[in-house]
């Protein structure tokens, strides 16, 4: 094993049930594919493995900096192994169970695990890329927004349907969208409850690179090559962005507290709508909020 392979063996040898990890030495990139064993959403099991993985990345990058490692890790790419789906969002079946049981602590524990992951991912000192080749709803969209760069294929759709069951996305969506856009446009997107095409989000400035269908990985490699030609400038711009628009853990925690309180205020009608979306998650069905809106009309 050469030094480059040895430096990152800990990621490829680690056994994950919910993730598929591979190291790409020519680009000094770790690819993390979501491979949920139950439902294509953010289950507690998936969140736990993602946080463990991101903590390992955080530790590795710190060692690289301390030892001035020449072959330091440069990129982390998050994608999905589920055809047509990036992630269908929060674990709604768990939410329903906890809300109906009035288990505030359980809701808070789940939400905290989400923002713990967001916080460590957002502050990694490498270029993080979300490759969205399918649908990313709710928490799945929030997860993509955590990355520095979003590369999406034209077939992908993203959105935040929480307002349809009288809630809001409380695990980072507002903070992340308000910094990519502005508060007014972020609120408009959140309150619309609709799904947006990758092309629409590219025109808005949410998606950074629009790729043709089935060309997402090629688009990631093209971006990496472009980045490496001017990495000093790219890194500096990212540092400036974090100074201009920092996201503190306290901000995320305060929003999570509002989300938990709001979730516990949902009535049975709201929960029945959440239940419909939850059943769609169970069937790996692509959820279309417009269909639900028509049913409610």
- For 237-251, what is each residue's pLDDT tens digit? 988 988 998 999 999
Task: Provide the 10 A C-beta neighbour count for residue 84.
Answer: 14
Q: Which residues pair with 76 in a beta bridge?
A: 30, 128
The pLDDT of residue 10 is 52
- At residue 70 the predicted structure's pLDDT band, cuts being 50, 70 and 90, is confident
Report, as an integer, the average pLDDT of 128-149. Answer: 97
Domain boundaries, the chain: 3-213+231-296
**Which DSSP state fits 285?**
P
Report the candidate in 139, 68, 95 with the shortest Cα–Cα distance to residue 274.
Answer: 95
d(CA 85, CA 34): 10
Judge contact between 169 and 162, C-beta under 8 A: yes
Q: Which residues pair with 159 in a beta bridge?
A: 137, 195
Q: Could you tell me the pTM of the whole model?
A: 0.90
The superfamily in CATH containing domain 3-213+231-296 is 2-enoyl-CoA Hydratase; Chain A, domain 1 (3.90.226.10)
d(CA 118, CA 148): 12
CB-side neighbour CA atoms (13 Å) of 98: 18
- At residue 275 the predicted structure's pLDDT band, cuts being 50, 70 and 90, is very high
Phi, psi of 226 (to 5 degrees): -65, -45
């Amino acid at each position: 094993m050469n030094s480059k392979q040895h430096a990152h063996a800990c990621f490829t040898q680690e056994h994950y049930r919910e993730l598929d990890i591979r190291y790409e030495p020519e680009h000094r990139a770790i690819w993390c594919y979501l491979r949920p064993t139950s439902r294509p959403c953010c289950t507690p099991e998936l969140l736990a493995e993602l946080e463990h993985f991101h903590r390992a990345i955080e530790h590795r990058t710190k060692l690289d900096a301390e030892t001035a490692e020449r072959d330091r890790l440069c990129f982390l790419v998050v994608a999905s192994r589920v055809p047509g789906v990036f992630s269908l969002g929060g674990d709604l079946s768990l939410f329903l169970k906890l809300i109906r049981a009035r288990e505030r602590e359980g809701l808070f524990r789940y939400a905290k695990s989400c923002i713990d992951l967001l916080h460590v991912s957002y502050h990694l000192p490498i270029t993080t890329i979300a490759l969205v080749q399918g649908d990313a709803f709710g928490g799945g969209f929030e997860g993509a927004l955590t990355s520095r760069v979003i590369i999406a294929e034209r077939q992908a759709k993203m959105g935040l349907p929480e307002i349809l069951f009288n809630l809001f996305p409380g695990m980072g969506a507002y903070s992340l969208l308000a910094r990519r856009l502005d508060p007014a446009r972020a609120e408009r997107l959140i309150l619309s409850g609709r799904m947006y095409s990758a092309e629409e989000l590219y025109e808005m400035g949410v998606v950074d690179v629009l790729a043709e269908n089935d060309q997402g990985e090629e688009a990631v490699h093209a971006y990496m090559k472009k980045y490496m030609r001017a990495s000093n400038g790219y890194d500096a711009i990212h540092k400036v962005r974090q100074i201009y628009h920092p996201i503190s853990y306290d901000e995320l925690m305060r929003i999570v507290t509002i989300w938990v309180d709001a979730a516990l205020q949902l009535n049975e009608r709201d929960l029945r709508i959440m239940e419909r979306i939850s059943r769609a998650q169970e069937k790996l069905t692509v959820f279309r909020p417009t269909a639900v809106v028509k049913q409610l009309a």
